[in-house]
Copies of this chain bind each other. A is one copy, B any other.
Amino acid sequence: MLEYDDLIDPSLLPRKGKYLRYYLLGIADREGSFYISIKKQDNAKFGWVIDPIFKVTQHRRNRIILELFKRVLNCGRIIEKSDQEDMLEFVVDNRRHLKEKIIPFFTRYKPIVKREEFLLFAKVVKALDEGKHKDAESLKDLITMLYNYSNDRRYSLEYILDEISFRQDRLLRDHKPGT
């Protein structure tokens, strides 16, 4: 485990990288979050964006855990949590890193209690990678799926779908040939 010796005395870590990864799985399965925010964003094609973020939150005194995530997953950044100054967050929101690092990691090291949450997250990252958000109907389907999973969200589903349809109509009108 010499690859971590700038972070921590390697004798304090599990003896093999694979064991460390299962240890981190245990941490992530409780304190990690596969969060998908739905944000109003006026300059987006349909006014709304889907933004998947993987996060692990820890008290400042346990920063080492977040450093290990950053090293093992080889992406992300560690930031202060905006509303709680004693808390730090390891955050990965870069779409390519989610696709190439986070999804493969947790496909191999499978969450147990956060299994469904992760599967949904992986599905959404894949859909965005395929450009599904660029088509109004697919975007509406994705957002509806997210609300079916949990509707503990700021805006009502109806409000979002109406807004997307409004922008969709306007785009169709503006691009109608011959007008």
Residue of B nearest to A12 (CB): B112
CB distance from A87 to the nearest CB of B (A): 13
Let me know if A65 is at the binding interface, CB within 8 A: yes
Q: Does A29 contact B (CB under 8 A)?
A: yes
Interface residues in chain A, defined as those with a beta carbon under 8 Å from any beta carbon in chain B: 8, 12-14, 18-20, 22-31, 61-62, 64-65, 109-110, 112-113, 115
Which 10 A/B pairs are nearest by Cβ-Cβ distance? A26-B26, A22-B22, A23-B26, A26-B27, A19-B22, A62-B113, A22-B23, A23-B25, A27-B30, A30-B31
Report whether A115 and B12 are in contact in the complex, using a CB–CB cutoff of 8 Å. yes
Q: Which residue of B lies closest to A115 (CB)?
A: B12
Which of chain B's residues have a CB closer than 8 A to the CB of A23?
22-23, 25-26, 29, 112
A161 to chain B, nearest CB (A): 30
